[in-house]
Structure 1
Amino acid sequence: MKQLILGGARSGKSRLAEQRAQNFGCRVVYIATAQAGDGEMSDRILRHREQRPAEWGLVEEPIALAQVLHEHAADDVCLLVDCLTLWVTNILLADPGVLERELNALYQVLDNLPGELIFVSNEVGWGIVPMGELSRQFQDQAGWLHQRLGEICDRVTLTVAGIPLEIKQPL
């Protein structure tokens, strides 16, 4: 099953994703897209690491998400990707052409991916339209990615104040 968990900052989305991954009862591989660009982000990454079970696998990959999903997916594995909006930021700031290449690669790999897959992402489309071009590109790309994954995923959950709201459930 493929899941997308959306929410605002500190909405409980990562905690929910980790609970669901643990409940599958299979091996979990946590795919982290964050990069520690400053001390505060380093602290955030450390807190996330300390909260996760020690037996979980960890892959840190800021760009080549589709490749990592393909390499680690298996029938008895749950892949937990946290978070897509950081990944979108990373590919927007990379060399030209990386955005389209990596998005296409992601959509292609999802068609035949075995096992369980949970995506975590920030819902960024409820605020004002940003003034800067890069910020607007980010908001647009994240929104289009969420729409596409909403179609592909079997389950879509919005988290608000730590409460999961089911938007789409498996048939």
Structure 2
Amino acid sequence: MTRTILVTGGARSGKSHIAEARTLDLGRPAVYIATAQAFDSEMEARIAEHQARRGPEWITHSEPLDLVGALRVTDGRPRLVDCLTLWLTNLMLGGHDWRAAGRALIAALPEQRAPVVFVTNELGAGIVPENRLAREFRDAAGLLNQWVAAAAEEVTLAVCGLPLKVK
């Protein structure tokens, strides 16, 4: 039986640190499935910071769109997907059907032999965005997070660098 774990929180809440530690607790080496794409120097610096933090116990697999495929080819070792929110961004901005991709992801989770830890951003506690695309993204992220949380055996909320068990 596989284990699906979701770690959520706001920006700079410590969710990636918590998820990295949790993933390594499940076995080493672990696979880091990176969904980020660097379109500017600021994002390049963020990605470099994450990479520098990880040591030799991590195997990096970059996949901005085909998350189900990435889970398939990396199965057998604990995986960390960082992050669902960036994956959703890639899907939406690329004109892909994010709902179909999200349903395919949920359907693939019971097929996994090794644990999967997901990082995602909690966006629902903020203000209502003023533009349509931002509102659509916030709503899509909320739904995707609910789907993954329902499928997960564990859900952790990161607050001020501390893990709070939700499920």
Q: Distance between the aligned counterparts of 2:27 and 2:92, measured in 1?
A: 35
Matches for 1:8-157 after TM superposition, within 5 Å: 8-74=10-76, 77-95=77-95, 97-157=96-156
Q: Tell me the residue number matched to 1:2.
A: 4
Instruction: Please state whether the residue corresponding to 1:71 is helix, strand or coil.
Output: helix
After superposition, give the CA deviation of every residue in 1:92-147 in whole Å (9 maximum; x if it has no partner).
0013x432332222122112111111000110000111111111111111100111
Percent identical across equivalent pairs? Answer: 44
Letter in 2 for 1:137: E
Q: Distance between the aligned counterparts of 2:98 and 2:146, measured in 1?
A: 16
TM-score norm. by structure 1 comes to: 0.92
Q: Which runs of 5+ in 2 are unaligned?
A: none
Instruction: Please state whether the residue corresponding to 1:111 is helix, strand or coil.
Output: helix
RMSD: 1.1
Letter in 2 for 1:119: F
The 8 Å contact of residues 63 and 102 in structure 1, kept in 2 or not, is answered as: no
Alpha-carbon distance, 1:24 to partner: 1.8
